[in-house]
Structure 1
Amino acid sequence: MTTEQTDWAQLMGFDRLPTHIVEKRVSDLLDLSGKKAIVTGAGGDGLGQATANRLAGSGADVALIGRTLSKVEKRAAEIEKRWGVKAYPILADLSDWDQVHRAVAESKEALGGLDIMINNPVMVVGGAFEKHTKEDIDQTMLGSLTMMMYGAHAALEHFLPQGSGRIINIGAVGGRVQQPGLTVYCAAKAGVIGFTRNLAYEFASRGIHVLGVAPGIMIKPDMKDMVLNPQNDGQRAGRASIHNAIQHQVQLGRVCLPEEVANMVAYLASEAADYMCGQTIDVAGGQWMG
């Protein structure tokens, strides 16, 4: 090639194109065998455990971080038995800066490396905004945005020296649409979308992939029980809000399983998503502003 052609080839990144994928199946690209992943908020019945299962089912070893050790121990044991990978339970309060950084370092040591950080913390206080206390607002912002920043910061301490890694932030479709009684939460989740975009902008050139997933209305056992058997006015109001969203905003007309959202998380964690950057993908049944 001429000097001009070489310059243009470098400018276009031709030398960095992943040509090895051309002859592969998509299923090959989704294989996470040998990868080491952290999932926060993984002890309950929601998206954390579903994501840990999806990553493990794709071959990754996983560290499950949660604030109740018995819960993450139970989930880790289930994953090891089901998928035959390594699964480590890690105790940490994700609202504590030092504990988050310690837990990520401990996870890397236990797994023998770190490739993927699934940032899935949440604490939310719902209800009429004018009735919120300072503590309600602070707790929701901490649990739905600030803790996300703690986790990303802790992961970057390990990703930057190795020049690689994936951070997937779990937001919510509420970051894009209005939802009654969730003003502070939705504002925080809009912040997650902005945080994801800006973090990607800052670190993409240093080998770090940053992406986000925005779930819609996921049904967990406690939520299903609340919908079928509301016990008080607050739960009845919550049920009415969910029904209104499904009827008027969710184009598929139903709630979803955490596993349906975890499918997208697993995809974004894989080589198949290598040319995506800074985006937050809605998995919300087509929910839109009504």
Structure 2
Amino acid sequence: MQSEEQEWATLMGFDRLPTDIVDRRVGELLDLSGRKAIVTGAGGDGLGQATANRLAGSGADVALIGRTFSKVEKRAAEIEKRWGVKAYPILGDLSDWDQVHRAVRESREVLGGLDIMVNNPVMSTAGAFEHHTKEDIDGTVHGSLTMVMYSAHAALEHMVPQGSGRIINISAVGGRVQQPGLTAYCASKAGVIGFTRNLAHEFAPRGITVLGVAPGIMIKPEMREYVLNPRNDAQRAARGTILNSIRHQVQLGRVCLPEEVANMVAYLASDAANYMCGQTIDVAGGQWMG
């Protein structure tokens, strides 16, 4: 029979404190050597490939899921050459329930486990909301929110039986602040923040940590091109919206690189973030409602 002191110690979780971290360097806590990670949407030039690189650079073996096999194959080869870890290209359309579950199962098999799942969906329609079609709205919600749910569900199939794992959902600072021309997108990203919070509440008692990252204005090659040389009215309007946000909302006064956001993903995937749960962290240069 436990003494009152032992009961209180158990209730406070003293027996589960990670006391081994006390004498370790922060750099050691950030080391992901031996971890097995999946990153979705990893074939392009944006956050997916940057995140896969950051996790691999921290020592994790990674599976890169994308709908164009040649793209994820190219990225996986680059990662293996650069970091000396295992990187596997996996074909999968994240908008398809069966495909995403199959892709996650395949990824886990080739990796030999699953510790980290990064759900990096795609953005869809922009522009004035009154001009959206049903297809625009459905595509935006599906591409920015539903696909995150599909991928998380697929990861939980494996994490729940093992009683451990970390899921990191990519939202956007637009889920917290208003952004002209992105009403459906921002509403969907607000949904990702809520989904992250509620999923964490449901699965933390079962050993699974759920967190989120909300990027601000990231610059990718195609975006850099149309910002510098807009070719039509839509691109000129998009440039104006971005410039307005940088001038009036982003405290650092610049766009960011995908790698700057990927830094936070790698941190949240590590032991340095073991006491974080349910939060979505903004990486947006201090962007606020201006």
TM-score, scaled relative to structure 1 = 0.99
Offset at 1:254? 0.2
Matched letter for residue 161 of structure 1: P
- For 1:285, what is the secondary structure of its paired residue? coil
- For 1:166, what is the secondary structure of its paired residue? strand
Q: Match for residue 137 of structure 2?
A: 137
Q: Deviations over 1:42-99 (max 9, x none)?
A: 0000000000000000000000000000000000000000000000000010000000
Find runs of 4+ consecutive structure 1 residues off by over 6 angstroms: none
Q: Match for residue 181 of structure 2?
A: 181
Q: Match for residue 254 of structure 2?
A: 254
Q: Deviations over 1:138-195 (max 9, x none)?
A: 0000000000000000000000000000000000000000000000000000000000
* Mapped partners of 2:225, 2:122: distance in 1: 20
Q: Deviations over 1:72-131 (max 9, x none)?
A: 000000000000000000001000000000000000000011100000011310000000
Report the identity percentage: 83
Q: Match for residue 20 of structure 1?
A: 20
* Mapped partners of 1:177, 1:124: distance in 2: 18
TM-score, scaled relative to structure 2 = 0.99
* Mapped partners of 1:88, 1:81: distance in 2: 12
Whether the 8 Å contact between 1:216 and 1:287 is mirrored in structure 2 is yes
Q: Match for residue 84 of structure 1?
A: 84
Alignment of 1:127 with 2:114, yes or no, is no
Alignment of 1:65 with 2:43, yes or no, is no
Q: Deviations over 1:181-231 (max 9, x none)?
A: 000000000000000000000000000010000000000000000100000
Matched letter for residue 33 of structure 1: S
Q: Match for residue 289 of structure 1?
A: 289
* Mapped partners of 2:122, 2:243: distance in 1: 23
Matched letter for residue 63 of structure 1: A
Q: Match for residue 155 of structure 2?
A: 155
Q: Match for residue 108 of structure 2?
A: 108
- For 2:113, what is the secondary structure of its paired residue? coil
* Mapped partners of 2:194, 2:129: distance in 1: 23
Moved more, 199-208 or 121-130: 121-130
Aligned-CA RMSD value: 0.9
* Mapped partners of 1:70, 1:123: distance in 2: 21
Matched letter for residue 75 of structure 2: R
Alignment of 1:266 with 2:248, yes or no, is no
* Mapped partners of 2:140, 2:90: distance in 1: 23
Q: Match for residue 46 of structure 2?
A: 46
Q: 1:114 to 1:131 in 2, by over 3 A?
A: same
Offset at 1:2? 7.4
Matched letter for residue 155 of structure 2: A
Q: Match for residue 206 of structure 2?
A: 206
Number of equivalences: 290
Matched letter for residue 63 of structure 2: A
- For 1:218, what is the secondary structure of its paired residue? coil
Matched letter for residue 220 of structure 2: K
Q: Match for residue 242 of structure 1?
A: 242
Matched letter for residue 80 of structure 2: E
Matched letter for residue 237 of structure 2: A
Matched letter for residue 12 of structure 2: M
Q: Match for residue 9 of structure 1?
A: 9
Whether the 8 Å contact between 1:123 and 1:142 is mirrored in structure 2 is no
* Mapped partners of 1:124, 1:253: distance in 2: 25
Runs of 5+ unmatched residues, structure 1? none
Alignment of 1:99 with 2:125, yes or no, is no
* Mapped partners of 2:271, 2:124: distance in 1: 33
- For 1:85, what is the secondary structure of its paired residue? coil
Runs of 5+ unmatched residues, structure 2? none
* Mapped partners of 1:170, 1:278: distance in 2: 13
* Mapped partners of 1:161, 1:4: distance in 2: 33
Matched letter for residue 197 of structure 2: R
- For 2:126, what is the secondary structure of its paired residue? coil
* Mapped partners of 1:201, 1:239: distance in 2: 39
* Mapped partners of 1:129, 1:65: distance in 2: 31
Whether the 8 Å contact between 1:38 and 1:107 is mirrored in structure 2 is yes
